[in-house]
Chains A and B, each alone.
Chain A
């Protein structure tokens, strides 16, 4: 083959041949996706099924792990905590991320580029580094404490090792996901739509509310789902920045696996977390429609 060769479909004969080719194209599509399918089956589906099996069979074939989960108020509370926290972080990310993405897309230029660069750099920095940075910034010898003391707070309120610090850290780590996905969908919006709205007499706000906002919703849905799901499984940041009461379910699962070797119980917790997430997504699908996820 060389650069001048013509694709079969471009020649009359090729166009004619395209019909019967379709099944062969299907076969090649399958062949191409086979590695990915294999990968997902081996590295995701199988381990996941294994987790479900272990949750019912370790230590014995019974529901004992689930009984333990639901009989202690701690686990339900931590699970509730985790979802509430994921919701809170998602809401804050959205509230902060949407206007930023809007500015980047609508004003563009040097400002947009600079903002985008800042978001991307934050995204590329390891979350551990960012978490430890908050320890320094919010710590009792850090600049924020000094500023509060200078302003006149005495004693200076504790700003580290509580829900506030955890929320701040998590929002900081996850907001790039929100901005990126909203940015991607906003960029696809044709500016002519807004001009058309204006020419029909819409005020800038009306134009935004009835034209721009609905068109940007897929990005919002996508970003919220991403942030929410990642938040559910996150636990390093809450452990380092949070107080004793900011325990996340993923942290408890890790503890059961690593410290107590209770794999059956850990698996049951993971299954409950997964099932709750799926249930929430199902409700969400009913109300909003998951197809919006893919734009």
Chain B
């Protein structure tokens, strides 16, 4: 039977070789720590593979990018889910690529740079002058940002809930079940803020001081969440009364009618970067795809369906124009690099400086887990 290389690799709906091998890699890695099983060498085709999240985000992305790009360029875009930095490392080390391009956090970019896993930006495609300063760096280019905010149950605190991380730590003034986010890059700065460190003095993090502060909180933490869906379940079922949570997921919960208030004070911002796996045969195509997605008219396309805010203000402007707002109105909006609800007039930080600008890459992640108990 003759099959084109493309159909041989991917059949919609069924278990294809990629998912099979990927599943094998994941299962092996999880159970035994087997880091990499060589995946099948791939022929160069007119398809690029993007490592991305599934669910509502994946759907929004497919609508906004994949189909339009396929139409514009003739190159098919297929998603590989979920985002896995370990897989990125495995494929660069083994030389067999399951995906070419990925949207990952900027701190992942920095880690990737340190481990030499990332393809350099092809500056003939991504032209420096086309983008706002500070969006290009660490072999990646920023696309949008999300934040981690304090959320609390409005029913539990009808007369005003916690407004800062110090309040979140204050179990006498705000009694209630705490949830915590099992992520050192967020919880450590939160602990330091609660301990009174001014936000412009956070980095480099005083890790020992942060853990000492976390020890205070430890007896009051009912559950540490790890996955976004888990955090939504925790607030929806009323398991916790306050918790750090992604603004995107919090927005989903609010839309579902969960009575939570999203606090913007001392929110922790994180950017998502486009990065390309080092050595992939589709590097140029990948950067071309990233360049396409970053065009203001396309960047805005992702907004209505999600809470993410593009880092490039022009993307916001293009989107607002579609909604009928004029440019002057957009300029009155909070800084474009801040995350905010997509709909006008939604939850937004009152001032740009209320959200933090972390430099996550500057902190050492090694050796932190053994203190998390």
Contact = CB atoms under 8 A, between A and B. Distances in A.
Nearest to B87: A258
A74 B33 contact: no
Interface stretch (A14-22, A178-186, A263-271): A263-271
A72 interface: yes
B238 A140 contact: yes
Interface in B10-32: 24, 28-32
**Most chain-A Cβ atoms within 10 A of its Cβ — which of B24, B33, B369?**
B33
- What is the interface residue range for chain B against chain A? 20 to 34
A21 B295 CA distance: 74
Nearest to A142: B237
B85 interface: yes
Interface stretch (A83-91, A167-175, A211-219, A242-250): A242-250
Contacts of B28: 47
A51 B35 contact: yes
Nearest to B185: A259
B252 interface: no
Interface in A68-94: 72, 74-75
Contacts of B230: 240
A47 B34 CA distance: 6
Given A239-B226, A244-B218, A266-B33, A261 B370 contact: no
Contacts of B135: none
Contact of A269 (B33, B85, B239, B373): B33
B37 A250 contact: no
A136 B236 CA distance: 11
Interface string B65-92: 0000000000000000000111001000
B166 interface: no
B37 A43 contact: yes
B221 A244 contact: yes
B369 A255 contact: yes
Interface string A26-48: 00000000000000000100011
Query: Contact size class for A?
Result: 35 or more
Contacts of B37: 43, 47
Given A43-B24, A245-B373, A257-B86, A160 B34 contact: no
B222 A258 contact: no
B343 interface: no
A290 interface: no
A233 B373 CA distance: 19
B224 interface: yes
Contacts of B30: 250, 253-254, 257
A256 B89 CA distance: 13
B84 A258 contact: yes
B116 interface: no
B373 A51 contact: no
B326 to A, nearest CB: 44
A252 to B, nearest CB: 7
B33 A263 contact: yes
B373 A47 contact: no
B223 interface: yes
Nearest to B31: A233
A274 B31 CA distance: 11
B35 A50 contact: yes
A200 interface: no
Contacts of A50: 34-35
B124 interface: no
Nearest to B368: A260
Contacts of B238: 139-141
Contacts of A54: 33, 35
Contacts of B24: 43
Interface string A56-78: 00000000000000001011000
18 contacts: A43-B37, A47-B32, A48-B34, A51-B34, A74-B371, A135-B233, A160-B239, A244-B223, A244-B224, A245-B373, A253-B30, A253-B33, A257-B29, A261-B85, A261-B111, A262-B366, A270-B32, A274-B32
Q: Which 8 A-B pairs have the closest CB atoms?
A: A270-B33, A47-B34, A74-B370, A266-B33, A161-B223, A72-B370, A139-B237, A267-B33
